[in-house]
Amino acid sequence: MSRSDRPVQAFVPGHVTAFFSPRWHDDPARTGAIGAGITLSDGVTVRAEPADETAITLNGRGIEMAPVEAALAELDATVNVMADSPLPVGAGFGVSGALTLGAALATNHVSDVGCTENELVSIAHRAEVRASTGLGDVVAQARGGVPIRLEAGDPDHGKLDGVPGPARIEYLAFGELSTSDVITGDTEALSAAGERALSGLTERPSLQRVFELGRRFAREADLMTPRVEAVIGDVRSAGGDATMAMLGETVVALGSGLSDAGYDAQSCTTCPGGAALEWAPPG
């Protein structure tokens, strides 16, 4: 019996990828992306309760999210998934990965499935890969901090390291970019740029380098939009450090970089720990 009388919820940090290089394989557990990014104290809180039919809400509104449904199917559970998040969807914060991993953690608990943490991370990772909604968010969100993805894939196949934190982070989201369109398109230049960035980070690992290499990657992979480029330029002119979220029309800055440059940005911190179950607040 792993259930407790006290209600629990899953918290999964947001994750902004700074640079990446996809790794494809017939087996979704071995598919993913190497690269690096930043997990955020702003994330997704997920509760689950057994139900006759599966339903998913985000901030009180019914949504459809293929990887969540796939993960619940693999757990053989029908539940009501209730998620809340301050993060925008489709803007490069890994909300789909967070919702999928959070739903897996919460459902495993309420439905007494008996999976380990690695099994739940693998289920969520494979569901994201199959749905083309993400390649590396889930394993990064499971670790927390500032994850370096050295080898791609689920916990049985991937390998992670991390840049020690902590740091204040600011972000400003303009709009969506389709992860699916980019990762299912021609990724040769992107893939090479991501590999160069990862080599650059492992040579000299620091949070500043994550931002510097992320900017270079976004330009080399031809993913930077004019609006994002202009804002990053403003942050740099004000003496700050910023890069683009992969994949969203979103700028992420170190410290108070965006507000120092005059932008009205959201602020949070790097998330010291990874995804975990926690007790739900009363009521």
What residues line the site for a copy of itself (CB under 8 A)?
A: 1-2, 4, 8, 105, 108-109, 114-120, 144-145, 148, 155, 161-167, 202, 204-208, 272-274, 276-279
Q: In the complex with a copy of itself, which residue's Cβ is closer, 164 or 233?
A: 164
15 sits in which H/E element: strand 8-23
Longest dimension (CA), the chain: 57
- Give min distance, CB of 206 to a copy of itself, in A: 4
Shortest CB 146 distance to a copy of itself, Å: 9
Residue 2 vs 185, nearer CB to a copy of itself: 2
Per the CB < 8 A criterion, the answer to whether 200 and 219 are in contact is no
Cβ proximity to a copy of itself: between 177 and 210 the closer is 210
What are the Cα distances from residue 204, in Å, to 42, 98, 151? 27, 29, 18
Identity at 174, one-letter amino acid code: F
**Residue 195 Cβ vs a copy of itself, minimum distance, rounded to whole Å:** 18
Tokens describing residue 234: 């403003």
Buried b (16+ CB within 10 A) or exposed e, 139-176: bbbbbbbbbbbeebbbbebbebebbebeeebbbbbeee
**With respect to a copy of itself, which residue has the nearer C-beta, 156 or 181?**
156
Query: Shortest Cβ distance from residue 226 to a copy of itself (Å)?
Result: 30
Q: Which is nearer to a copy of itself, 55 or 110 (CB)?
A: 110
Q: What does the DSSP assignment read for 220-281?
A: HTT---HHHHHHHHHHHHTT--EEE-BTEEEEEEETTHHHHTT---EEEEB-SS-SEEEEPP
Q: Minimum distance between the CB of residue 225 and a copy of itself, rounded to whole angstroms? A: 29
Give least dist CB 102 to a copy of itself, A. Answer: 12
- Of 163 and 197, which has the nearer Cβ to a copy of itself? 163
CB 12 within 8 A of CB 91: no
For residue 226, is the peptide bond before it cis, meaning its omega torsion is within 30 degrees of 0?
no
